[in-house]
Structure 1
């Protein structure tokens, strides 16, 4: 029986790459998107073209009131498409970049980052726990910026640090169900995340490339296959770990 992975924010960037990587390995995918419905459906079509099953749902990962209705839609899809009551893997990937120096960060910026990157992950995971199969996996996305500092990223890095702590506690509390929980922390990646800063700003790109042992910033293809590999049975004994995927950033 194929494994089913739910990935939040998978219409583009790392989430899209992870979804396609999982499908290439024989998995089925449920993906969420905030507003890019056409992009999400394009990912679904790519996965279906591989002979795998996929479906996309709209979800604002920073809106706690949306989680219970989403869980009901998810439950119906599991029953109707897969004939199952549960899914196997949850990848909390959805997020956005909002950067400012500490002295210039607004409360609205701060609250937006907390709601999407921490509070939303906490309560969406809580809502979905009854639907995650025993023996399943959870992967939470963090950032290389929790280990190093870079001007303007304080609030973003702080909420990602909270995710790393949450992952450890989830691993402890869900261990009795055989659910492994890990954090994946990418380094700087060329995507449209944060307005495409790393991809489009040559100065920022060079700054991160110069601090990376392999001499460049990352690409989505450096991250998605790693997440797919982490979810495989080959890595069933990895639990409660922060795994940095950065090419050797600031070592």
Structure 2
């Protein structure tokens, strides 16, 4: 029987890298996308080229009221594609990178960040728990910015991710009787288009890379590979943990 992972926001950035790393490791994937169906279709094609099965489903994690319909669509997809009623691993990756100093952050920006990263993650996980197979694994995404501040305009974003970390510990306690683990991966600076693509700027990249022990920013495939290791390796004894992948930033 195939192993199946669901990755939210899997059409680009870390979600795409995670989908490809899991496919390389022999896992079938379901990715979700909010916009840009063509990007999602490209990821599905890439996964298929790696010899695995892939499906893309639309999902806006800000819209909690749509989660019932999404769960129904997911159940239909599982039955039609894999002849299963469950999937194995949930990766809550979908996110939005909105910056702002405390003095400048608006209520709208704050609500958007907490809506996607906290409210959406909490209630989507709640809705999908009955569909996750026993002994499955859940990975939530946080950020290195919950540990270091670095004089950046990320107060609300970091606070939202801090909430994700606390939620994950409570979640790990609740799902443990089913053999399910729940962990957080906290990336440092990674060269993706997240947050407006600032880390794709050479000067910004060099500056932040100089603050890491490794002397560079990370690559998306390094985070995807870590997720794949956590989901497919002999890591069932690891749960309720925050695993930072920042290249040793600001040690």
TM-score by length of 1: 0.98
Match of residue 47 from structure 2: 47
Matches of 1:173 and 1:233 in 2, distance apart? 22
Map 1:81-230; keep pairs closer than 5 Å.
81-150=81-150, 151-200=152-201, 202-230=202-230
Q: Secondary structure at the match of 1:235?
A: coil
Q: Secondary structure at the match of 2:234?
A: helix
How many residue pairs match? The answer is: 250
Structure 2 unaligned blocks of 5 or more: none
Structure 1 unaligned blocks of 5 or more: none
Matches of 2:62 and 2:207 in 1, distance apart? 31
> Deviation string for 1:116-173 (max 9, x for gaps)?
0010000000000110001100000000000000320000000000000011000001
Match of residue 246 from structure 2: 246
Q: Secondary structure at the match of 1:57?
A: strand
Q: Does 1:231 align with 2:206?
A: no
Q: Secondary structure at the match of 2:197?
A: helix
Q: Secondary structure at the match of 1:181?
A: strand
What is the deviation of 1:203?
Answer: 4.0
Q: Secondary structure at the match of 2:18?
A: helix
Backbone CA RMSD of aligned residues? 0.9
Q: Secondary structure at the match of 1:184?
A: strand
Q: Secondary structure at the match of 2:183?
A: strand
What is the deviation of 1:20?
Answer: 0.5
